[in-house]
Amino acid sequence: MSIPEGGPPPHSPDVPPVGTRVVVRHRLPAPDPFSGATLTDVVGDLLAVDADHLLVRTRRGEVAVPRPSVTVVKELPPRPSRRGAPHLALSVDDLERVMVGAWPAAENEHLGDWLLRATSGFTHRANSALTVGDPGTTLERAAELVEAWYGQRGLPSMLTLAGPVGVRPDADPLGALLVARGYVPRVATSALTAAVDEVLAAVPEPAHGGLRVTTSTTLEDRWFDAYRGYREAPEGPARAVLTGSPEQVFASVEDDEGVLGVGRLGVASTWGGIAAMFVEPRARRRGVASALLRRLAGAAADRGVRSLHLQTDTDNAAAQELYRRAGFVVHHEYTTLTRPRTPAGR
């Protein structure tokens, strides 16, 4: 299949994906004659990466930074699109891009600005096309290319469509096209955000009550077994997603009988993403979810993260109430649309 140009070239693990806003610190060819500095920073959008250079689009134009001179590359959040608290200042499209790194797919390919993601079917987010920006072709052709890409991987074609709260998929040109092609939308998902400090202020330290809250930066079998207890999580694909962020923290709450709940923090683009939250039915209404949330927010604060995001379905009233009490507000909604696969030969 032919994908229009615009996708990222290969990059080494220490370089963020193309399209990311970055700061590149690098050595100068000679000390600055005025300050004597030997290092300088380039800030902007990473346009291309090859063996010799990092190409960065700055406010003053494109800058090619020689790879041998680079000392560090760090991800930055997108520029705010409006005034206000950092967790509210990003546009819908920019927050959608930020959220990708906190729940990364095992395989990614760009279709213009769109991002096609696949992880052997593990979770909607890691197996759907993120449709923000311009696909570089007509919507009709883009839909055909997406369907072919997922078909080659034996997966149903799924696309996410983000917009303001309450937006109907068929009110958008792409959504209307997909519905006409037989796509079925699932329940809308709320993308919520909060300031880390506000979450820590809103969620009290848990009363002990025989509960132990622990965290780890590695995916331990005990945590993974508890996670797989409530949802299907194939070993390879699930581990790839859960350990694929630039940083991640796994939290669990236990008592003498075992693990009562788990949650995960994924750190990417200077934001923290809360996900994989689960509490055993026998432990509900004991403050387990709040204990997990506070510990993960604390882990974010320890890493200098100021803003959090998470996603939950709009019909999950219990989760919506928990997160709103903790200081989260709805930033926007998105809907995942799926084209049902037809039996072979039809």
Average pLDDT rounded to a whole number, residues 278-284: 86
> Considering the domain boundaries, does residue 5 fall inside one?
no
Task: Using the predicted structure, report yes or no on whether residue 328 has a pLDDT greater than 60.
Answer: yes
pLDDT of residue 346: 41
pLDDT of residue 88: 78
Residue 114 in any domain: the answer is yes
- Of 43, 59, 46, 57, the closest CA to residue 15 belongs to 46
How far is it, in rounded angstroms, from Cα 270 to Cα 244? Answer: 15
Assess contact for 143 and 150: CB atoms under 8 A. Answer: no
Residues 230 and 316 in one domain: yes
Q: Are residues 66 and 96 located together in one domain of the fold?
A: no
Residue 62 confidence (pLDDT) above 50:
yes
pLDDT at site 35: 75
What contacts 25, CB < 8 A, 6 or more positions away? 39, 40, 41, 70, 71, 72, 73, 74
What integer pLDDT is reported at residue 83 of this predicted model? 67
Which residue from 157, 117, 81 is spatially nearest to 331, judged by alpha carbons? 81
User: 228 lies in a domain?
Assistant: yes
Last residue of a domain, one of 36, 56, 76: 76
Mean pLDDT of 278-304: 92
CATH code, 203:
3.40.630.30
Mean pLDDT of 131-148: 96
197/317 same-domain check: yes
In a domain, 346, yes or no: no
- Asked whether residue 7 carries a pLDDT value surpassing 50, the answer given is no
Residue 94, CA distances (Å) to 77, 241, 253, 320 in order: 9, 21, 33, 23
Q: What is the pLDDT of residue 309?
A: 98
What is residue 342's predicted lDDT score, i.e. its pLDDT?
A: 60
Q: Domain check: are 224 and 296 in the same one?
A: yes
The pTM score is 0.81
- Using CA atoms, how far residue 55 sits from 50, 92, 113, in Å, is 9, 26, 17
Least confident of 29-38, 283-292, 324-333: 29-38
Give the residue-averaged pLDDT of 277-292. 89
Share above pLDDT 90 across residues of the chain, in percent, rounded to a whole number:
69
Residues 6+ apart with CB under 8 A from 294: 199, 200, 203, 204, 205, 206
Is residue 172 domain-shared with residue 66, that is, in the same domain? no
Q: How confident is the model at residue 5 (pLDDT cuts 50, 70, 90)?
A: very low
In this predicted model, what pLDDT tens digit does every residue of 176-218 receive, in sequence order? 999 999 999 999 999 999 999 999 999 988 766 678 999 999 9
Find the helix or strand (DSSP H, E) in which 311 lies.
Answer: strand 307-313
Q: How many domains does the chain have?
A: 3
In a domain, 300, yes or no: yes
Residue 10 has pLDDT above 80, yes or no: no
Same domain, 327 and 201: yes
Among 76, 105, 121, give the residue marking a domain's end. 76
Picking from 316, 263, 307, the residue whose alpha carbon sits closest to that of residue 89 is 307
Residues 326 and 299 in one domain: yes
Kindly tell me the sign of the dihedral angle through the C-alpha atoms of 241, 244, 248, 250: positive
Question: Which of 7-21, 68-82, 126-140 is predicted with the least confidence, judged by mean pLDDT?
Answer: 7-21
Concatenated DSSP letters of 43-59 = EEEEEEE-SSEEEEEET
- Both 170 and 218 in one domain: the answer is no
Looking at 57, 76, 95, which one is the last position of a domain? 76
Range of the domain at 32: 21-76
Mean pLDDT, the chain, as a whole number? 89
Provide the CATH number for the domain around residue 72. 2.30.30
Q: Are residues 223 and 114 in the same domain?
A: no
CA distance 228 to 238: 9
d(Cα 162, Cα 75) in Å, to the nearest integer?
Answer: 23
- Reply yes or no on whether the pLDDT at 72 is more than 50: yes
